[in-house]
Chain A
Amino acid sequence: MEQSSQFWSRRIIWLLLAIATGIFIVVKVKAVMYVSRPALSLYEAVERVPADKIIVVSCNWEPGTRGENGLQTEALIRHCLRNGKHFAIFGWAYPAGPQLGQQIAERLQGRYHRRYGTDWVNWGYKTGQNNMVRAWAQNIPGTIKEDILHKPITSYPVMRGIRSARDVGLILEITPSDTLVTYVRFVYGIYGTPIGYACTGVMAPEGFPYLDAGQIVGLLKGLAGAAEYEQLLHYRGEALKRMPAQSSAHLLIIALIVVGNVLYFRARRRGEAPGRRLST
């Protein structure tokens, strides 16, 4: 059985990684997150929404990305509830999305003494994608008709005076997939309604051009985005709690890259050929 130095160096690296992350799970460290400009702009955009307008929390995600989108939704809904901004949960990409949003909002509402119907509402899952969103922007009560509890949405006080996308102060699109363009084209493009974007880490590159062009007001990127938002809310949530372990794992990988290079250059100076070919 060969037990080369490579065999053990790999095991040591893995053990280090387990320790580096595990230690910050067991030992609780108070995490501080630095806030990036896209996250701050999103926070400010929520703060700016006037009292007579509603915020749309567009839950276009499903349980698979709960670790990123779930925490983002939680932070954003917490902000709305805390500041008494009226909001509507909505979704059209995944049937489970609005249901997941509902669970989060129901869990949080008591803490800020808010009630369903007067402070927030859930429009539920609506099919039809682009065409539905286009119609919705024109006529909200006519397109949505019923909320998630199958009651007419006009019966809720929170919906008073909400007719079209012009009465929407901000759309918060939370998603792991390429749904943003629908809102940009059919709502922002026609009515100029501001859009905030919260997406998974891998989707973020798709969002930056929209941010640069001013088509979205802010952006939360994956778990880090959720943590930044929790920092802005001064609330120690799950995302912030994970940050020390995340940081130490990233730091370890960077340290490994440095060590790898040092070893490589030392070996090269001694004239030893690198063990394996180039990975090109």
Chain B
Amino acid sequence: MNRMPAGLKALIALAAFAVVVYLGIRYRVFAANLGIWLAAICTLAIYSILYRENVVFRFFEHIFIGLATGYSFYTIITQVLQPKWWVPVAKEGKWYWVFALLFSTMFYTVYSKRFSWMNRLAAGSFMGLSAGLGIVGFTTVLGPQMAASFKPLWTSASPYIAVNNILFFITLITVMSYFFFSFEQRHPVVKGSARLGRWLLMVALGAIFGNTVMGRMSLLIDRLQFLLLQWLQVFGRH
């Protein structure tokens, strides 16, 4: 087998594939629709990695990256550059938007050692913007989460809520105490609190894991429904 040239192997595989497709469609095992076939081939090619990394997966991995690049290429043109740059410049005469183009050329000097300062300047400005947004984000994210953490530990309304609030408070404080770095956690209270915090954090993370299972499984069901009911007509015909 190994002495056979790769081209010949590929030809034989393709021929066998064509026969299967023809017979499959002829005897109505598969749907006779180009779109469904393409989707099915893509689906199976990706699933093939579950056996092991192989020629087909590698081929479709590259097609996938190519499609994604093409997709970004045209969506950036049609959804960003056309409405936000070309229209203001060409239709509304806002000539100063040309500076956006000039500025972005500074990013292109990454490959040149001599002009690398331009890239640094452009990237530096963007880092400044993201740092600014990071500082703003601190307030906008902290505010609502902090406000929602003020839960009364004793309430006449219902003991259930009171117990929940106490547990909420204990979890919040102990988990926070686990994340102190700048001193050795030697004192028994600190040590105990940090350890309890770590355990409660594990409960929290386990719950997130379990809660995500349903969403992920429904993605699988979606693909299997496609393969078994739409592509394979055997089960699909009701």
- In the complex they form, whether A and B have CB atoms below 8 Å apart is answered with yes
The answer on a CB contact under 8 Å between B144 and A222 is: no
- Check if A224 is an interface residue, CB within 8 A of chain B: yes
**A26-B235, A201-B211, A204-B211 given as contacts; is B218 within 8 A of A67 (CB)?**
yes
B50 beta carbon closer than 8 Å to chain A: yes
Beta-carbon contacts under 8 Å, A175-216 to B: 181, 200-202, 204-205, 209, 212-213
C-alpha spacing A250/B221, complex, angstroms: 12
| Contact residues in B for A68 (Cβ distance below 8 Å) | 215, 218
Does A18 lie at the interface of the complex (its beta carbon under 8 Å from any beta carbon of B)? yes
In the assembled complex, which residues on chain A have CB atoms less than 8 Å from the CB atom of B148? Answer: 209
Smallest CB separation, B23 vs chain A (Å): 21
Task: Find the A residue at minimum CB distance from B164.
Answer: A212
> By the criterion of a CB under 8 Å from any partner CB, how many residues of chain B are at the interface?
24
**Given that A11-B51, A201-B212, A212-B164 are contacting pairs, would A25 and B229 also be in contact in the complex, using a CB cutoff of 8 Å?**
yes
How many Å lie between the Cα of A242 and that of B222 in the bound state? Answer: 9
Does A109 belong to the interface (CB within 8 Å)? no
Instruction: Provide the residues of chain A in CB contact with B51, threshold 8 Å.
Output: 11
Query: Contacts of B50 on A, CB cut-off 8 Å?
Result: 11, 14
Q: CA of A68 to CA of B221 in the docked complex: distance in angstroms?
A: 13
- Does chain A have a CB within 8 A of B220? yes
Q: Check: A245 CB closer than 8 A to any chain B CB.
A: yes
B163 to chain A, nearest CB (A): 11
Q: Which residues of B from 215 to 238 have beta carbons under 8 Å from A?
A: 215, 217-222, 224-225, 228-229, 235
Q: Is the CB of B215 within 8 A of A200?
A: yes
Report Cα–Cα, A18/B217, bound state, in Å.
Answer: 10
Within 8 A of A (CB), among B188-229: 211-215, 217-222, 224-225, 228-229
Q: Which residues does chain B contribute within 8 Å of A212, judged by CB atoms?
A: 160-161, 164
| Nearest-CB residue, chain A, relative to B219 | A67
In the complex, what residues of B have CB within 8 A of residue A253's CB? Answer: 213
The answer on a CB contact under 8 Å between A25 and B212 is: no
Q: How far is the CB of A124 from chain B (nearest CB, A)?
A: 21
In the assembled complex, A138 has its CB within 8 A of some CB on chain B: no
Q: Which 4 A-B pairs have the closest CB atoms?
A: A249-B217, A26-B235, A245-B221, A201-B215
